[in-house]
Structure 1
Amino acid sequence: MNWRRFFCCCCSFEEKDQIGENKSRDYPWEIYTLKEILHATNNFHDDNKIGEGGFGSVYWGRTSKGIAVKRLKGMSSKAEMEFAVEVEILGRVRHKNLLGLRGFYASADERLIVYDYMPNHSLTTHLHGQLAADCFLDWPRRMSIAIGSAEGLVYLHHEANPHIIHRDIKASNVLLDANYQAKVADFGFAKLIPEGVTHMTTRVKGTLGYLAPEYAMWGKVSESCDVYSFGILLLEIISARKPLEKLPGGVKRDIVQWVTPYVKKGAFDRIADPRLQGKFDRAQLKSAVMVALRCTESNPENRPSMLEVVKWLKGGVEIRKVVTDIEHMLEEDGDNETDTDFQGFRGLVQNQNSFKVKY
């Protein structure tokens, strides 16, 4: 996309100060006026704020269908780039499991991105936040969310042209609509992969606990990095445990370290979120855990594609081979509960200043 033309287009709409949603012939989204967004969000009132992060804040907006508005804080070159990347990528993608772009507003000192409002908030809110105690996510819903998130990644990795690596798959970036259908969101760190390119080396961005080892240590990014992050997310959905937890003495333990001893003992019931009160399909639980472990293998070449992950989560016949392979791998490890393949990476996790990431 020609970004000079893109921002000229934005400015021309702003100068006209049109009321109502403006559709450009060249772009599939809508260009809003600042007046419209201020009216919908009650001048970005704190009562309308529904989220906040390093990028800025997200506000609920009152319209006929309801909108969410991401307001980037500051106009740094980093914020400018994340805005441009997100609008570019969201303008390209159309899938039921990806949060779609409704529109945007751009001026000299404001960058606003408009999305559909997701009434059931983020996955984090249900697993660890204010809605966690209510346990709205029963087992069928959890598996539906896992499969929906995986299908969104299949679209990015295999159907979008060029292919897209998300680079920040995590629970807070999975939003839930009125029917608890998963919508993968936040494409500010995403990378477009040119035809024929298998991996790239780039500055590390993402969230501790979800980063693939080769990406965290060397900046090597590929689709398999998203696969690793999805494996962590899948374990989080199953167990409602956070990807990283602090143990006494300041030592951090990741979710793979926590789950592995239970898998070795066959104690899969101990992995499931206690709030489910045993109401889950035990065979499906075991299969999902095994799929997650395949996704989080330390060697990226041994990880499956997201196409395979979706097939396995839906109960394809090959899932039995996945379970057998993981069981065989764990038997070869013996009784040692520490996966030595991850020691180097976990050493980095102990020191959060070892590399710069988004929190």
Structure 2
Amino acid sequence: MHPIHHILLLHLLLLHVSPSIQQSFIYNGFKSPDSTNLTLTGIANITGNGILKLTNVSSHQIGRGFYPDPIRFKNPGSESALSFSTAFAFSIVPKYLKLGGHGLAFTISTTKEFAGAQPSQYLGLLNVTLNGNASNHLFAVEFDTVQDFEFSDINDNHVGVDINRMKSVNSTRAGFFIDGNSTIQDICLHSGKTIQAWIDYDGVKQQLNVTLSLFSTKPSTPIMSFPVDLSPVFQDFMYVGFSSSTGVLTSSHYVFGWSFNMTGEAESLDLDLIPSLLPAKKTNKGLAIRFSVSVFLVFLIIIIAGAVYTIKKFKNTEVVEEWELDLGPRPFSYTELKDATKGFHEKHLLGFGGSGKVYKGVLPDSRTQIAVKRISRKSKQGPKEFMSEVSTIGRLRHRSLVQLLGWSRNKGEFLLVYDFMANGSLDKYIYSSNNSKLILSWDQRFKIINDISSGLLYLHEEWEQTVLHRDIKAGNVLLDSDLNGRLGDFGLAKLYDHGSNPTTTKVVGTLGYLAPELTRTGKPTTSSDVYAFGALLLEVVCGRRPLELKASPEELILVDWVWDKWREGCLLEVVDSRLKGKYNEVEAAMVLKLGLMCSSDEPSMRPSLRQVVRYLTREVPLPESLGLRCDGGAKGGLVVKIDVFTPSSLEKMKSW
């Protein structure tokens, strides 16, 4: 057979057995029969008027819509990435106007299923394990409305290009250019407005452009343009589509129309011809008259009902104060939380402390499990402290911090609503008896230590301000359903600008975790937080409290006992005996030494949280000389030496 015949035969075979090599398509809405074959996963659906609705306002959900057939994205001859162009119109409608949930992403991937992908900051594309793997072969352009500091997001209203990981290789604030004007016009991604996006990749120039607009016409200037070679990312055939997810804060994500082209520029969408969230305008005059009369009557009824309701409302609730208007998280009604906890029934009690009781609840509308902290009227946490906790943790976003969902205030009573942590607090595991169900393995303990260290690093250095927690302890470390550690209880937190110093001189915290300098100066610092974290490290490894009043004198103060064992060369003797020798000796020794470094009497000798994280991840080795004690310094964080622990001396310690 002539060689040309072989080529023709091969070409025919490829056309017969290869996946679709569709070059272009356009959807002016998704109501036509051609649109119904989109592959929908998660909670995505096509609405009655032909809108692709990826998610609703349910929390921690994923929704995806993908073109059903794979498309060739690589040149068969050179293995270089082919050019592509796409345009689509979308809208993000948050449940609460000022609180955008997570965004959506245009995605090119080898799969439509994304097994194991997580919601929230992972947008339904990756998870903590897969994030960053070159084998993902994932390209995405995210339109995100949450600033995730762990991914170095620039703000909470940005466009980012993600390649195999959720940390963007390039990002910019959302906006567009009007032709002839070099000033960027800002776009609020979660405004609910219809936004058109164009993504164009030139495979020859290896150039990616992203353009946004509120109009049908494509601006001549993109908001993002940068060189990138997508050849290592793309496989021969890939799937294209959209993915979005919700977290604690929720939004509905909509796609109204979509065009795609592998052989030229994608056709722009006429925003007047695609479906809309708003109902069509009525022009019937008779209907308009009847409608006007109805509105007038309804208006009168509303005025009367509103007056009655307002009178009753003022009898049962307090006037909203000015500071409450600026709080970020969602305000819950007292009745809503009372119903969720079955009237704050004792059988739903999760625990209690000095500031009040914590109850488990279930929100009836979304079936979301919550934890409600009901602050005691006898607590020292008044409106100022309550405001501090809401305004602080309500704006923090990190996987190792307990997420505040909302708050409520009723007749001087304060309530805080958090993510429900299925496995409770860490202290019940490390102080438990020999109940095998409550004994954490070494791997679980080491994972929790790393979780909390990353959360504290975020608080100290990575958020917009420095956040001092001031009450780091095992009881404030909560464990989710997968035993991931999350730091909670920000009632004592203190914020200040990076580079400045906190002004407070009030000593707060828990005995055994208080840095010795606090009793002299009263001024908390990141170093005093590190001291408390050092105590936490030691108790997680040793399985006992920083101060154990029932222990022998030499073991009374945990840090002193560990210090003595280290000097004697038998450091691993302090490891929790309930592990029965099943632990990584290198890791255990490292954590113990690091705990001693953090527990140094001299603040300048303690590492920063960034150094702590580098030690734990073995990016750098621990120093040979730990520099733990300074001459004449106190032991165990006590400013005065107490040789005999009498009831009076213990009361004095408690007062600190």
Q: Flag whether TM exceeds 0.5 (same fold).
A: yes
Task: For residue 207 of structure 1, report the CA deviation from its aligned partner.
Answer: 0.3
CA contact (8 A) 2:392 2:490 kept: yes
Counterparts of 1:70 and 1:348, CA distance in 2: 37
- Aligned letter for 2:384? M
Counterparts of 1:218 and 1:184, CA distance in 2: 26
Alignment partner, residue 121 of structure 2: none
Alignment partner, residue 341 of structure 1: 633
Counterparts of 1:77 and 1:137, CA distance in 2: 34
When Rg is computed on C-alpha atoms for both structures, the one with the higher figure is: 2
1:36 to 336, 344, 348: 336
Is the partner of 2:374 in helix, strand or coil? strand
Task: For residue 247 of structure 1, report the CA deviation from its aligned partner.
Answer: 5.2
Gaps of 5+ in 2: 1-309, 317-323
Task: For residue 251 of structure 1, report the CA deviation from its aligned partner.
Answer: 9.5
1:282 to 560, 571, 585: 585
- Aligned letter for 1:39? D
Task: For residue 300 of structure 1, report the CA deviation from its aligned partner.
Answer: 0.5
**Offset from partner CA, 1:144-197 (integer Å, 9 cap, x none):** 101111111101100122211000000000000011111100011111123432
- Aligned letter for 1:42? K
1:58 and 2:58 correspond: no
Counterparts of 2:357 and 2:553, CA distance in 1: 31
- Aligned letter for 1:109? G
CA contact (8 A) 1:157 1:165 kept: yes
Alignment partner, residue 296 of structure 1: 599
1:260 and 2:558 correspond: no
Task: Go from structure 1 to structure 2 and tell me whether the alpha carbon gap of 1:62 and 1:68 turns closer, same or farther (over 3 Å shift).
Answer: same
- Aligned letter for 2:641? G
Is the partner of 1:42 in helix, strand or coil? coil
Counterparts of 1:132 and 1:315, CA distance in 2: 33
Task: For residue 250 of structure 1, report the CA deviation from its aligned partner.
Answer: 8.7
Matches within 5 A, 1:199-348: 200-246=503-549, 253-319=556-622, 321=623, 324-326=624-626, 329=627, 341-343=633-635, 345=639, 347=641
Alignment partner, residue 4 of structure 1: none
Is the partner of 1:244 in helix, strand or coil? coil
Alignment partner, residue 98 of structure 2: none
CA contact (8 A) 2:507 2:522 kept: yes
Q: Name the structure with the higher strand share.
A: 2
Counterparts of 2:338 and 2:461, CA distance in 1: 38
Is the partner of 1:83 in helix, strand or coil? helix
Task: For residue 127 of structure 1, report the CA deviation from its aligned partner.
Answer: 1.0
CA contact (8 A) 2:511 2:653 kept: no
Alignment partner, residue 468 of structure 2: 165
**Offset from partner CA, 1:95-136 (integer Å, 9 cap, x none):** 000111111111223211000110110001111147865344
Q: Report the aligned-residue RMSD.
A: 2.9
CA contact (8 A) 1:135 1:275 kept: no
Task: Go from structure 1 to structure 2 and tell me whether the alpha carbon gap of 1:15 and 1:355 turns closer, same or farther (over 3 Å shift).
Answer: farther
Task: Go from structure 1 to structure 2 and tell me whether the alpha carbon gap of 1:43 and 1:135 turns closer, same or farther (over 3 Å shift).
Answer: closer
**Offset from partner CA, 1:16-53 (integer Å, 9 cap, x none):** 99xxxxxx996542111112111111101111111111
1:101 to 404, 410, 418: 404
Counterparts of 1:354 and 1:200, CA distance in 2: 25
Task: For residue 277 of structure 1, report the CA deviation from its aligned partner.
Answer: 0.6
Counterparts of 1:278 and 1:231, CA distance in 2: 23
Task: For residue 286 of structure 1, report the CA deviation from its aligned partner.
Answer: 1.0
Counterparts of 1:175 and 1:163, CA distance in 2: 22
Counterparts of 1:198 and 1:26, CA distance in 2: 24
Task: For residue 269 of structure 1, report the CA deviation from its aligned partner.
Answer: 2.6
Alignment partner, residue 180 of structure 1: 483
Counterparts of 2:460 and 2:551, CA distance in 1: 40
197-206 or 226-235, which moves further after superposition?
197-206
Q: What's the TM-score once normalised by structure 2's chain length?
A: 0.47
- Aligned letter for 1:345? V
- Aligned letter for 1:341? G
Task: Go from structure 1 to structure 2 and tell me whether the alpha carbon gap of 1:131 and 1:103 turns closer, same or farther (over 3 Å shift).
Answer: farther
Task: For residue 253 of structure 1, report the CA deviation from its aligned partner.
Answer: 2.6
Alignment partner, residue 652 of structure 2: 354
Is the partner of 1:121 in helix, strand or coil? coil
130-139 or 224-233, which moves further after superposition?
130-139
Task: Go from structure 1 to structure 2 and tell me whether the alpha carbon gap of 1:212 and 1:87 turns closer, same or farther (over 3 Å shift).
Answer: same
1:112 and 2:410 correspond: no
CA contact (8 A) 1:30 1:104 kept: yes
Task: Go from structure 1 to structure 2 and tell me whether the alpha carbon gap of 1:201 and 1:89 turns closer, same or farther (over 3 Å shift).
Answer: closer
**Offset from partner CA, 1:67-89 (integer Å, 9 cap, x none):** 00000111766432321111011
Task: For residue 317 of structure 1, report the CA deviation from its aligned partner.
Answer: 2.8
Q: Which has the higher contact order (CA 8 A, sep 6+)?
A: 1
Q: What's the TM-score once normalised by structure 1's chain length?
A: 0.83
**Offset from partner CA, 1:297-354 (integer Å, 9 cap, x none):** 11101111001101101122332x2xx112xx57x99xxxxx9522452537953443
- Aligned letter for 1:213? P
Counterparts of 2:422 and 2:406, CA distance in 1: 19
155-164 or 171-180, which moves further after superposition?
155-164
Counterparts of 1:39 and 1:179, CA distance in 2: 28
Task: Go from structure 1 to structure 2 and tell me whether the alpha carbon gap of 1:308 and 1:315 turns closer, same or farther (over 3 Å shift).
Answer: same
Gaps of 5+ in 1: 1-11, 18-23, 334-338
2:427 to 114, 124, 133: 124
- Aligned letter for 1:53? G
1:150 and 2:466 correspond: no
Task: For residue 265 of structure 1, report the CA deviation from its aligned partner.
Answer: 2.2
The percent identity for this pair of structures is 36
Task: For residue 267 of structure 1, report the CA deviation from its aligned partner.
Answer: 1.5
Alignment partner, residue 5 of structure 1: none
How many equivalent pairs are there? 329
Task: For residue 90 of structure 1, report the CA deviation from its aligned partner.
Answer: 1.0
CA contact (8 A) 1:207 1:357 kept: no
